[in-house]
Structure formats: C-alpha cells, structure tokens
Amino acid sequence: MTYARRAWAVVWKDLLVERRSKETLNALFFFSLLLLFVFQFTLGPDRERLAAVLPGLLWLGFILSGLLGLGRTFLVERENDCWEGLLLAPGDKSAIYVGKLAGNLLLMLVVEAVLVAMFVVFFNVDVGGVWPGLALVIVLGTIGFAAVGTLFAAMTAQVRARELLFPVLLLPVQVPILLATVKATEAVLLGEPLAAVADWLKLLVAADLIYVVVGVLTFEFVLEG
Amino acid sequence: MAPDPLVRVTGLRKTFGTRRVLDGVALDVRAGEAVALLGPNGAGKTTLLKILATLVRPTRGAAAIGGQDCARRPEDVRRLIGLVAHGAHVYEDLTALENLRFWAALWGLRLPASDLAAALADVELERHAGERVRTFSEGMRRRLSLARFVFARPRVLLLDEPFAGLDQRARKWLEEYLQAFKAGGGAIVMATHSFGRELAIADRLAILVAGRIALDTPRAALTSDDVQRLYALHTENGS
C-alpha cells in the first residue's frame, strides 16, 4: 500500500503542477495543431493518398508530441533541487518511476485523444466503427513509448545536451513499438478485425511488459546517477 | 563513557578526476552538538555535506551517521538526515500545504491534515498554507523546507549556507529553530561563510582548507574577531 501511495503522490503532484502551469499541455496542443496544418497542406484532399499515409501521420504526431512532453518530465525536478529531495526520500525509488510513468501516460493519452479528434475533423476520417480497436492500439503503443521515454527522460535530465540526446536514445529503442502500432493502426482503420493484427498486438503487449519491467528495475540506478 | 558520535568521518578523501577535493578529513559530531564548517570557496565543505547526505560517494575513507555507513547503507542514512542545501526541495506551483503533503506521502507517511497544519505552524507558515511557493520569499522557502523535518524527525541536520539570503527576522527564527533542534538531541553540520552571530549555534568550528581540516576547535570562548583572525591565519597559510 505504501508503494502505491508513494506512486500516487507523484502522479497527483505532477498533474497538479501541470494543471496550474499548463506548460506542457499548451505546448503539445499548439504543436499538434501545427502538425495537422502542415499535413493538411501537404496532402490536400486526395483520399487515396491519405488512406495510405494516415496511420504513419497519426503516429508521427503522437511521437513528436510525446517527445516534447516526455522530455519535460523531469525538468520540474531540477527546479529548487527537488531531484535531490526525491533521491533522499527513503523507500523504493521505482515508486517514483511508476508515478511519473502514470502521469505521462495520462497526459499523452489526453493529447492523443485530441489529436485523433482533430484528424477526424481535418481529414474527414470515419472512425465510428473502429474506435475500440483504434483505442486499444493507441493505449498499448503509448504505454511502451511512455515507459522508455520516462526512463530516458530521467537519464538525460541532468545532461547538458539533453534535448539532442533524448530523442537520439529513445527513437531506436521504439522501433518495435512503432512498427507494430503503425501496422496495427493501418489494419484497424481499413476495418479489419483485431484478430487480423493479433501478432502485432502480442508484440506490443510483450514490448510494454519488457519496457515497464526494465524501467522499474533500473530507475533507482538512473536516479542515483 | 561518552556515547558514540552521531556523525563520524574518518580519513575521508574525494577526488573529481585529478582534483583532490577532500583529503583525509576526520570529524565527529555528537548528539546535541553543532559543528560549523568554515573555509574558502572550493575548500570541500559542500562535498563533505554531500557525502554525509549520501549524494556523493567518497573515494577513500568512511562517513557514517548513526553508525550507518553513508556509502554502503544510504537508505538507512537517509532516514536519519535532513538536508537543507541551496535548493529548498519545494515545488513552485504547489502551495505550502500541498508541498508538505507530497513529501509526507513520498516518505510513506499517512498524516492527517491537522498534523500537516501543525508542521506549518511550527515554522510559522500557517497563514500561508494555501499560497503557492512561487510567491514565497527566500526565508519562507527555507522554513517550508525545514517544515518537512517536523514529521520526518531526522537526527542530523546537514545545512549548506542556511542563513544566506535571509533577513534579520528570518535569521533569528532559524537560530532559535536550530537551538531547539540541538536541545532535542539532534546533531548539526553546517557549512557557512558567515562569521556573524549565526555562529552562536555552533559548539565547534572546523576550518577546511584545500580539502583538509586545518583547525577543529570549541567555539564558546571565541569572539567574532577571534574567529576572523583564526580563519585568516589558517586560510592564508593553507592557500
């Protein structure tokens, strides 16, 4: 119970800070809107071209906005040396990771929901019949992305070139997730049943499990530096 | 027989690359005692505090708090210490009460709101409980940082320049707080550049020069002029 309460304290604190400052959410919404405008101007009204590239574009939007959001996760801990405070708090440090991960996941899913809604409006995409499958793929893909992103954000938080290092470290590790999510999203948007993409979903679940477990096991060493 | 010291440092050495920051430092601090670490910039005061706070590992030698080795048993040491360094470990966009609630939860403590309010009252911040830290003065931040220790109850306080940036009223409050902490059986290790009345809380002065303790002496009989003379004597010889 103490572990869960400590993790929840981190989620509560991060979401409260974000609600007050709105720094990350505002940046992500405007960035997403900008991306959509660029995509819209580039692709135009050609629906065939759009159908072919939509899954990739959707995940490009998620990844780019996720990079922005995750990269800021530990910046709040640098202010007033709160990082030291986290380190000095007695108890299992992985609870801090779990809390940070849960907070990031919530923020990313909110942004992604808005991004999907904007895609629907901007590109006149019908997701009415496929939204449960689409939601499942998005949630599974986001868990894996956030799990590694949270860990790498902690690793690079104290590094001078963190803006460069963070995506350079993160993106290669995300290849299995990206491959599975784009393929699964493509199939779901074409109206295929989830059973048709079961292999990709299994890969996503396995990658999520591995990334979360690695994050939980290694976070203490990352925090200790 | 005198009880074992709460803080024991023996033969402590720390090197960063080729630079030796601490070199054979030895220091004991007993319960109810405060030691002020004096010394020029770069003498190793902050590094010594960070080793005691388990934030930096020594290259050689040992530092222990309450009998627990700082490098080998950092989790046990962390339950015994309270660190107030340059950053106050407070979140700007949370209120004073929310900051306390967060740290209490992170330490695994389930405290009722009345206990948190009492902790804020102890540091005279009860009227500002609902205000965001962003609006706080340096003194108020320092007090909020110390409020965390009302419920964490550390046995050793590690303070890095605790009086820097404080006005006269805040200084007086902090002096009284630290005197009360000592009277309750706590030990204090405090790094400072101040020769003023803040040194009154120190029972001993240790002057660090180039990573070595050049002088470790009781403070009681020393006037402010004596301290300045001794400081000049040792730092000019040592640097």
CA A212, CA A92: separation in Å to the nearest integer? 16
Residues A112, A165 contacting (CB under 8 angstroms) = no
ipTM reported for the complex surpasses 0.85: yes
CA A18, CA A12: separation in Å to the nearest integer? 10
Q: Is B19 on the interface with A (CB under 8 A)?
A: no
CA B130, CA B175: separation in Å to the nearest integer? 26
Q: How far is A16 from chain B (nearest CA, A)?
A: 7
Q: Which domain holds residue A211?
A: 2-224
* pLDDT at residue B237 in the model: 60
Residue B232 makes CB contacts below 8 A (sequence gap 6+) with: none
- State whether A8 and B105 contact (CB < 8 Å): yes
Q: Work out whether the CA dihedral B173, B177, B182, B183 comes out positive or negative.
A: positive
If contacts are CB pairs under 8 Å, which of residues 110-169 in chain B contact chain A? 110, 132, 141
Q: Could you tell me the two tokens for B155?
A: 């046995």
Q: How many CB pairs under 8 A join A and B?
A: 78
Q: Environment class of residue A176 by beta-carbon count within 10 Å: exposed (0-12), middle (13-18) or buried (19+)?
A: middle
Q: Which residues of A touch B72 (CB under 8 A)?
A: none
CA distances to A55, A131, A137, B187 from A128, rounded to whole Å, are: 16, 6, 15, 66
Q: Which residues of B touch A89 (CB under 8 A)?
A: 78, 103, 106-107
Q: Could you tell me the two tokens for A141?
A: 């893909």
Q: How many domains does chain A have?
A: 1
Q: Could you tell me the two tokens for A18?
A: 């974000």
Mean pLDDT of chain A: 90
* pLDDT at residue B204 in the model: 93
- State whether B89 and A16 contact (CB < 8 Å): no
**pLDDT tens figures, A11-53:** 999 999 999 988 888 888 888 888 888 888 887 777 777 778 8
Q: Is B195 on the interface with A (CB under 8 A)?
A: no
- State whether A80 and B89 contact (CB < 8 Å): yes
Closest by Cα among B11, B13, B10, B3 to B64: B10
- Residue A177 above 90 pLDDT? yes
* pLDDT at residue A96 in the model: 96
CA A153, CA A28: separation in Å to the nearest integer? 17
In chain A, the residue whose alpha carbon lies closest to the alpha carbon of B98 is A13
φ, ψ for residue B161, nearest 5 deg: 50, 60
- Residue A79 above 90 pLDDT? no
Q: Which residues of A touch B75 (CB under 8 A)?
A: 90-91
**What mean pLDDT comes out for the span A102-115?**
93
Residue A22 backbone zone (phi > 0: left; psi -120 to 50: alpha; other: beta) = left
**pLDDT tens figures, A140-154:** 999 999 999 999 999
User: When comparing pLDDT for A176 and B221, which is higher?
Assistant: A176
Q: Is A173 on the interface with B (CB under 8 A)?
A: no
Q: How far is B151 from chain A (nearest CA, A)?
A: 13
What b/e readout covers B132-164, taking b as 16+ CB neighbours within 10 angstroms?
Answer: bbeebeebbbbbbbbbbbbbbebbbbbbbbbbe
Q: Is B86 on the interface with A (CB under 8 A)?
A: yes
Mean pLDDT by 10 residues, chain B (239 residues): 84 92 94 93 92 95 95 93 89 95 91 91 91 92 88 91 83 88 94 82 92 89 84 73
Q: Which residues of A touch B108 (CB under 8 A)?
A: 2, 5-6, 90-91
Residues B52, B206 contacting (CB under 8 angstroms) = no
* pLDDT at residue B60 in the model: 94
Residues A177, A207 contacting (CB under 8 angstroms) = yes
